[in-house]
């Protein structure tokens, strides 16, 4: 039996990138998935992976709204129940303390942090009835430290990290595991704007492995943590960053003190 056979997961931010890759892995391993994103048409890629619609449901809506999360849980019930939540939706937020407007700040907090809380709260009743229930949230290495010009994103992802640590202590008594992955620079739709800019190379130089990561590499960790095989991992923060968080950031691994 595969890690996902007979299991149902909700995956937010499923239209592209890490979320899409996670849904694909779950389906490949025999599971079912509720794919959630803002636009229904953005989920049309499921026509190829589950043409008959037997193992997927689509929920279009804003995950910062309680109703969207409730509909996702209801869709999971139609597939046979809810066993796992992969709360992956996120947006960037760049700007200095003075230049970034508060409307943008509020939206960054809402999508990256509020939506995680709403997702967990909506899913708890069903998860308490499930076998080997689990939650995995997508945080970021930017939630473990600071970045110039990204204070809003840092605050939101740092909040995710602290939330999951507290939630792990509270939910563990119900047998519900909650963990987080912290991606570093990853090739996704969200980072497309910088992939052909000098920023791409600058970030690459800070990665000990010498390259950006791919969405599939993060999805592999997400689906592992959400599966029963990770049954004794709870409250963990797992960087998927090529080694970025291992350093002090004073020197790049490819800088003047390196022999590479």
Provide the Cα torsion 35, 37, 41, 45; round to 10°: -40
Give the other-Cβ count within 10 Å of 30's Cβ.
Answer: 14
Contact 207, 242 (CB under 8 A): yes
Span between the terminal Cα atoms of the chain, in Å: 44
Residue of 153, 157, 180, 191 with catalytic role: 153
Longest dimension (CA), the chain: 57
Quick one: which of 45, 41, 115 has its CA closest to 33? 45
Quick one: which of 92, 139, 159, 89 has its CA closest to 119? 89
Is 82 a catalytic site residue? Answer: no
**Which are the catalytic amino acids?**
153
């Amino acid at each position: 039996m595969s890690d996902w056979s007979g299991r149902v997961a909700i995956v937010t931010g499923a239209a592209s990138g890490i979320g899409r890759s996670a849904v694909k892995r779950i389906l490949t391993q025999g599971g079912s998935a509720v794919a959630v994103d803002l636009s229904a048409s953005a989920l049309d890629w499921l026509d190829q992976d589950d043409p008959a619609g037997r193992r997927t449901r689509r929920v279009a809506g804003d995950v910062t709204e309680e109703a969207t999360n409730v509909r996702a849980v209801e869709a999971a019930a139609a597939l046979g129940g809810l066993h796992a939540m992969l709360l992956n939706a996120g947006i960037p937020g760049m700007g200095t303390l003075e230049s970034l407007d508060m409307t943008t700040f509020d939206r960054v907090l809402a999508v990256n942090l509020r939506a995680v809380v709403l997702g967990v709260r909506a899913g708890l009743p069903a998860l308490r009835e499930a076998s080997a229930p689990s939650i995995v949230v997508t945080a970021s290495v930017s939630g473990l430290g600071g970045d110039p010009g990204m204070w809003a994103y840092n605050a939101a992802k740092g909040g995710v990290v602290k939330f999951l640590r507290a939630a792990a202590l509270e939910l563990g008594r119900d047998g519900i595991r909650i963990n987080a992955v912290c991606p570093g620079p990853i090739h996704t739709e969200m980072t497309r704007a910088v992939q052909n800019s000098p920023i791409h190379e600058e970030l690459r130089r800070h990665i000990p492995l010498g390259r950006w990561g791919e969405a599939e590499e993060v999805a592999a960790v997400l689906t592992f943590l959400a599966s029963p095989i990770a049954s004794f991992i709870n409250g963990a923060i797992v960087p998927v960053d090529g080694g970025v968080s291992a350093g002090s950031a004073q020197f790049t691994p490819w800088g003047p003190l390196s022999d590479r």
